[in-house]
Amino acid sequence: MTTHQAPVNGARPWALLAELTHACPLHCPYCSNPLELARRSTELSTGQWTDVLRQAAALGVVHTHLSGGEPLLRPDLERIVAAAEAAGIYTQLVTSGTGLDEARLGALCAAGLRSVQLSVQHADAKANDRIAGRPSSFAAKERAAALVRRAGLPLGLNVVLHRDNLDAVDDLIELGEAWGVDRIELANTQFYGWGLLNRAALLPTRDQLARARETVERRRERLAGRIDLVWVVPDYFDGVAKPCMGGWGAVSLTVAPDGTVLPCPAAASLPDLDAPNVRDRPLDWIWEHSPAFNRFRGTGWMSGPCGGCPRREEDFGGCRCQAYALTGDAARTDPACALSPDHHLIRSLTDTGPVQEPPPYVYRRPGAVPEPGHGGSPEP
């Protein structure tokens, strides 16, 4: 058991993204997981996750997304849910639906599962399966949605939007209605990990986005009070940086499958972060004192346009991982911001529109991108 100390600058986390495994039956090209997926043999044990959840609750966490990869591939998922419940943490299962049957859902509900977020790739079954890189995955989602409704749990639909499904937004909203969901999250692709690798194939046109946005506004009025419609902004197109993660080390933390603790899910890509691990350090020390969590906390680290900008307390200078991915320097202003000296890096992509013949997807699977000096891995 660890002793809690006064948090640096008063920040307390309320949310935990628990990435239980990187293994996944789907192969979505927009996945934000790192290209180097954690191997199954490195995953935290049930006991270690139980301890993480206990420590997280002591730190102030009240909500956890049990995510991955596909968390249903963890045979001990019920025990992890029960551990969260015992710690007083609300659980949401983030799943592709593949592998969910009545018995499993019953066991998860008995363990204390509170809600489910189901991903869908397209409203058309064939298009869905092509994007997911797995046959019959749409049918599995349909079954999973019906099971969750029958169990009486709140159900959200999550759709990552891109060039190949933005024109189907209307149909996707109808699908959500037909499946009886409470919430539909239409999340324009954020380009990290596999998403960044597949950016040329996924980047939509401005016209596609404008049409989809209009549809969402129209539908939102009609669905008011019945379905919560959430539109996650496409920061590549708006010229406005997003307040990524609500600020670095401000409200949430991510625990990766191997126990690495990160201020955001994509931060594993930052080469000199020196990310801490729950195997070595207690969570409260990691949150309050680790160099990784303090690196971009607050506004003191800012220079360039962010340093004197009136919006710096609102958007926190945008996304550190995007700044690094596009400029090689995580401390620069996010190039998504129109005030960034690097904004042309994004404008040059969005102003010319996507390539006419997009390249094929590089599906997310171990070994699809050989690691430097490594021929790929048989796991997960």
List, as residue ranges, the binding site for [4Fe-4S] cluster: 24, 28, 31
Residue 211 sits in the site that holds ligand SF4 (CB under 6 A): no
Residue 267 touches which of ligand SF4, ligand FES, none (CB < 5 to 8 A by kind)? ligand FES
By CB under 6 A, what part of segment 242-301 binds ligand FES? 244-245, 264, 266-267
What letter would DSSP give residue 112?
A: T
Helices (H), 124-269: 125-132, 137-151, 169-178, 193-197, 199-202, 206-223, 235-238
Q: Binding of ligand SF4 at residue 130 (CB under 6 A)?
A: no
Would you count residue 297 as binding ligand SF4 (CB under 6 A)? no
Query: SS3 for 308-376, per residue?
Result: CCCCHHHHCCCCHHHHHHHHCCCCCCCCCCCCCCCCHHHHHHHCCCCCCCCCCCCCCCCCCCCCCCCCC
Q: Residue 65 or 74: which CB sits closer to ligand FES?
A: 65
Classify burial at 205, counting beta carbons within 10 Å of its beta carbon; exposed 0-12, middle 13-18, buried 19 or more. middle
* Cα torsion 195, 198, 199, 202: sign: negative
CB of 314 to ligand SF4, least distance (A): 7
Closest to ligand FES by CB, 179 or 191: 191
CA-based radius of gyration for the chain: 20
The 252-255 sheet, strands edge to edge? 228-232, 183-188, 155-161, 115-119, 90-95, 63-67, 15-19, 252-255, 261-262
State the binding partner of 268 from ligand SF4, ligand FES, none, CB within 5 to 8 A by kind.
none
- How far is C-alpha 28 from the chain's CA centre? 13
Rounded least distance, CB 88 to ligand FES, Å: 28
Q: Write the interaction track for ligand FES spanning residues 298-327; mark x where CB under 6 A is met and - where it is not.
A: ---------------------xxx------
The reply to whether 83 sits near ligand FES by the rule CB under 6 A is no
334 binds, among ligand FES, ligand SF4, none (CB under 5 to 8 A by kind): ligand SF4
Q: Considering the complex, what minimum distance in angstroms separates the CB of residue 241 from ligand SF4? A: 4
Residue of 71, 263, 317, 380 interacting with ligand SF4 (CB under 6 A) = 317
- The two structure tokens encoding residue 243: 């307040």
43: which 2 tokens? Answer: 């995953």
**Shortest reach from residue 360's CB to ligand SF4, in Å:** 34
Q: Is the backbone of residue 246 left (phi > 0), alpha (psi -120 to 50) or beta?
A: left
User: Interface with ligand FES by CB under 6 A: which residues?
Assistant: 192, 244-245, 264, 266-267, 319-321
User: Interface with ligand SF4 by CB under 6 A: which residues?
Assistant: 241, 305-306, 309, 311-312, 315, 317-318, 333-334, 337, 339
